[in-house]
Amino acid sequence: MLLSDLQSGESGVVVRVAGHGAFRKRIIEMGFIKGVTVQAILNAPLKDPIKYRIMNFEVSLRRSDAEKVEIVTLAEAEKEIASHKDFRAIDAPEKKLEHIAEHRTHTINVALVGNPNCGKTSIFNIAAHAHERVGNYSGVTVDEKVGVFQYEGYTFNLVDLPGTYSLSAYSPEELYVRKHILEKDPDIILNVVDGSNLERNLYLTTQLIDMDITMVMALNMYDELQRSGDHLDIEQLSTLLGMPIVPTTGRNGQGIADLFNKIIEVFEGRDTKTRHIHVNHGPELERCITTLRTELYEHGFSDRLSTRFLAIKLLENDRQLEQYAAERDTDGSVLAMRNQIAEEYKRSSGHLLVDNRDDSGHKVAVEQSRQDIESAITDAKYAFVRGALAECYTKNEKSTLHQLTDKIDAVVTHRWIGYPVFLIVMFITFFCTFAVGQYPMDWLESLFGWLGDAVGSVMSEGPLRSLLVDGIIAGVGSVLVFLPNILILYLFISFMEDSGYMARAAFIMDKLMHRMGLHGKSFIPMIMGFGCNVPAIMATRTIEDRKSRLLTMLVIPMMSCSARIPVYVILVSAFFSQYAAYVLTGLYLLGMVMAVLMAKLFSRFFVKGESLPFVMELPPYRMPTAKAVLRHTWEKGKEYLKKMGTIILGASIIVWALSYFPTNDNRQLQAENSYMAKIGKTIEPAMRPCGFDWRQSVSLLAGIGAKEVVASTMAVVYATSDDEAVALEEDFESEEGGSRISELVRDNMTPLSAASMLLFILLYMPCISTIVAIKNESGKWKWALFTVAYTIGLAWLVATAFFQIGSLLL
């Protein structure tokens, strides 16, 4: 609780002093240090200041100051100990308080702040033994991830935040990070800096310095910095920036232990490098800042934020802080002064010479323009960074660090060669997924075939046997066999993401994407959609432009996710096994083409707004660590297996029950009269134009929960409804090849109707999780429902057109 809440006569132990700079220092100098016991002597509700006893002194503290001191009381300690099984039975009351106070004062809240792609998540994972996603493109981490771990007797609460280039209030990420720093007030900000890209990374550092918060810098990618042959005097830079700097390599964990030792040192106030510096913006700007700052100080703004930070941000026309200031400064004098300062600055600032050029690039005139204070502050910060680097950094002009990257990029981002390279990469991906994945799939299939036979032969005829063989083994087995394919697909996607190729693919697609109202950055989420639509929709958060982002979300369901693989393979191997590769590639391509068309359509008619161009980052290629790639792959595999044990198992049982009951001795009659058949026959009329009978209709309906269920439902529906099922169980490997389900499907469907079904499955509504994801990310049910409606409509139209035209031609 807060010191200000301590009633007269009560006492507690100080565990934390919040606030900034001189303000915090004053409280500490009065004796409110972590670990000391404080007793409230006189705390009357309306009285200010409050009187306290610390050690043997009496001090009085303003109420607003006392609100900055966090304490723990005996009552709180007892409650915490009682509720926490880790704290062993501690009897003596003073021991309890001591224990909890010790625990609290040894808890360090650390927030990771840095540019996108500088290695924050890699450091987070190593420190917190976590398995969060890393990737070699910006925007992998989209919300905060918290890791709790013990180190050297301290409990760390480590928070991984989204990457940002600055702390202005332009993008959601920037606002998010700033809000976290200001509101959660972490003890230490761990500023992660990409050592191979210092100038841009240190710009953010200068903004953090303005905030007057306690910082430690991780100089990450230190391996690359060393390899480049550049020289950096870390000691010197550390002195210039007023914070300790620890070199780290997030890929292999080097320096991470030192980093956290340093954090402890800084937390305990033992570090000698920590010193509050000001980023010098030059005399002119500094004068403006100081004037406004004094005004802020006089208006009592000093308690929550650093007044310097607030002054700078107000001069930068920061909307959010403007509002904050306006709320507290009712007479408006602060903002009035800000306007006056900005106006004067612009009037008195030197003239900037700007070349004016015509379309062909010829200089037509030299124009003079005055600089506004906002951009002057940005320039001054860059000047500060360059100045600092000039003193301690020498670039190796012959650096070969990014030569390889440049060489590869010359090919893969080439204006023409880039596209075929991309197509080849995609082709290899799908070839391996389907053709190479065929082998382990066949093994698993024989395993399940054998299992079904074995169970079938030892059990006697009856509902239980049917449940096991036709329901569970057939249903779950029909989907589980695709695990290898899905792992291979994810292996490729992970490799593309981690190596940096995905960012290039997005880059070359940029132009094409713009034409359809999307952005190159839409491309990474779209490719991710081949794996699973849900993370793909979350990944759209990297798209700053709202319109492009919404459009991307709406068309991601056209990207055929891996859950649709099982039913594709079943249908394709039943009817088109000679052309399998073409049919599958064609399906994926058709999905992409539909995405393009839909995006174009929506951007014209439904989603309004301008789409803005913005910069795409091309990070240097990095050989992904095998560990990371395998981990990503395995995590997906695990999720898939989990789905098998839950949704697919449940759905298989339900579908089996619906098709088994009401029972009838005649298999054929039973199939025709089962509940499943009733449902199927009810929706069949609507599906007949697409060429689907009740079995197909009901399988598609079942797929709404999860797309894999289409395959498992087919396995169950066709097995329980087919006369020859029993006979087929004995020799399901016919000369035409293919599995048992494919056999059953082949006997009950025409090729035309199967092809029509493939189209329908590709296009029709996404699974429930995807719909919820669209709702969450777009913020409106409207868009989620819109997606459902348009996908179903589109699937129906395409399948119907295909089937009807096909029927006429064949």
Residue 533 binds Mg ion (CB under 5 A) = no
Tokens read off for 88: 């062993």
For residues 119 and 680, which CB has a smaller minimum distance to Mg ion in the complex? 119
> Which of 72, 221, 513, 773 is close enough to bind ligand GDP by CB under 6 A?
221
R_g of the chain computed on alpha carbons: 32
Instruction: Compute the least distance from the CB of residue 584 to ligand GDP, in Å.
Output: 30
The residues, ordered by sequence, that sit 6+ positions from 590 with a Cβ below 8 Å of its Cβ are: 759, 762
Binding mask 361-390 for ligand GDP (x = CB under 6 A): ------------------------------
Instruction: Compute the least distance from the CB of residue 195 to ligand GDP, in Å.
Output: 8
The residues, ordered by sequence, that sit 6+ positions from 33 with a Cβ below 8 Å of its Cβ are: 14, 17
C-alpha 540/C-alpha 549 separation (Å) is 6
- Give, as ranges, the residues between 265 and 324 that touch ligand GDP (CB under 6 A): none
What does DSSP assign to residue 690?
G
The residues, ordered by sequence, that sit 6+ positions from 60 with a Cβ below 8 Å of its Cβ are: 49, 50, 51, 52
The residues, ordered by sequence, that sit 6+ positions from 256 with a Cβ below 8 Å of its Cβ are: 123, 126, 127, 248, 250
Instruction: Compute the least distance from the CB of residue 611 to ligand GDP, in Å.
Output: 25
Tally the residues of the chain: 810
Please name every residue paired with 114 in a beta bridge, in sequence order, or none if there are none: 192
Q: Is the peptide bond before 49 cis (omega within 30 degrees of 0)?
A: yes
For residues 140 and 385, which CB has a smaller minimum distance to Mg ion in the complex? 140
- Give, as ranges, the residues between 175 and 204 that touch ligand GDP (CB under 6 A): none
**Which range of residues in 218-226, 300-308, 453-461, 722-730 is near ligand GDP by CB under 6 A?**
218-226
**Which range of residues in 141-149, 434-442, 460-468, 749-757 is near Mg ion by CB under 5 A?**
141-149
Q: Is the peptide bond before 116 cis (omega within 30 degrees of 0)?
A: no
Instruction: Compute the least distance from the CB of residue 385 to ligand GDP, in Å.
Output: 19
Q: Which does 118 bind (CB under 5 to 8 A by kind): ligand GDP, Mg ion, none?
A: ligand GDP
For residues 4 and 138, which CB has a smaller minimum distance to ligand GDP in the complex? 138
Q: Which does 122 bind (CB under 5 to 8 A by kind): Mg ion, ligand GDP, none?
A: ligand GDP
> Which of 19, 119, 517, 766 is close enough to bind ligand GDP by CB under 6 A?
119
For residues 141 and 302, which CB has a smaller minimum distance to Mg ion in the complex? 141
**Which range of residues in 74-82, 133-141, 265-273, 750-758 is near ligand GDP by CB under 6 A?**
133-141
3-class DSSP state of 506: helix
3-class DSSP state of 581: helix
Residue 140 binds ligand GDP (CB under 6 A) = yes
Q: Which does 76 bind (CB under 5 to 8 A by kind): ligand GDP, Mg ion, none?
A: none
Residue 433 binds Mg ion (CB under 5 A) = no
3-class DSSP state of 365: strand
37: phi then psi, degrees, rounded to nearest 5: -90, 135
> Which of 140, 526, 571, 711 is close enough to bind Mg ion by CB under 5 A?
140
> Which of 118, 218, 516, 561 is close enough to bind ligand GDP by CB under 6 A?
118
Q: Which does 498 bind (CB under 5 to 8 A by kind): ligand GDP, Mg ion, none?
A: ligand GDP
- Give, as ranges, the residues between 107 and 126 that touch Mg ion (CB under 5 A): 121
For residues 250 and 517, which CB has a smaller minimum distance to ligand GDP in the complex? 250
- Give, as ranges, the residues between 228 and 257 that touch ligand GDP (CB under 6 A): 249-251
- Contact yes or no for 353/335 (Cβ under 8 A): no
Instruction: Tell me the number of residues near Mg ion by CB under 5 A.
Output: 3
Element (H, E) at 112: strand 107-114
C-alpha 77/C-alpha 107 separation (Å) is 15
- Contact yes or no for 315/339 (Cβ under 8 A): no
- Interior CA angle at 704 toward 703 and 710, to 5°? 0
Task: Say if strands 145-151 and 154-160 run parallel, antiparallel, or are unpaired.
Answer: antiparallel
For residues 248 and 699, which CB has a smaller minimum distance to Mg ion in the complex? 248
**Which range of residues in 84-92, 117-125, 557-565, 673-681 is near ligand GDP by CB under 6 A?**
117-125
For residues 140 and 225, which CB has a smaller minimum distance to Mg ion in the complex? 140
Tokens read off for 29: 């100098």
C-alpha 464/C-alpha 470 separation (Å) is 10
C-alpha 724/C-alpha 732 separation (Å) is 11
Residue 122 binds ligand GDP (CB under 6 A) = yes
Instruction: Compute the least distance from the CB of residue 120 to Mg ion, in Å.
Output: 5
Residue 646's nearest CA partner among 535, 536, 769, 771 is 769
Instruction: Compute the least distance from the CB of residue 156 to Mg ion, in Å.
Output: 18
Tokens read off for 293: 């700052």
- Contact yes or no for 487/501 (Cβ under 8 A): no
- Which position has the token pair 């107000």? 314
What does DSSP assign to residue 26?
H
C-alpha 529/C-alpha 354 separation (Å) is 45
- Give, as ranges, the residues between 76 and 115 that touch ligand GDP (CB under 6 A): 114
- Give, as ranges, the residues between 141 and 180 that touch ligand GDP (CB under 6 A): 141, 163
Residue 220 binds ligand GDP (CB under 6 A) = yes
Q: Which does 142 bind (CB under 5 to 8 A by kind): ligand GDP, Mg ion, none?
A: none
**Which range of residues in 138-146, 209-217, 468-476, 500-508 is near Mg ion by CB under 5 A?**
138-146
The residues, ordered by sequence, that sit 6+ positions from 56 with a Cβ below 8 Å of its Cβ are: none
- Contact yes or no for 684/702 (Cβ under 8 A): no
For residues 220 and 540, which CB has a smaller minimum distance to ligand GDP in the complex? 220
Residue 141 binds Mg ion (CB under 5 A) = yes
- Where do contacts with ligand GDP occur on this chain (CB under 6 A)? 114, 116-122, 134-136, 140-141, 163, 220-221, 223-224, 249-251, 498, 622
Which residues here bind Mg ion, judged by CB under 5 A?
121, 140-141
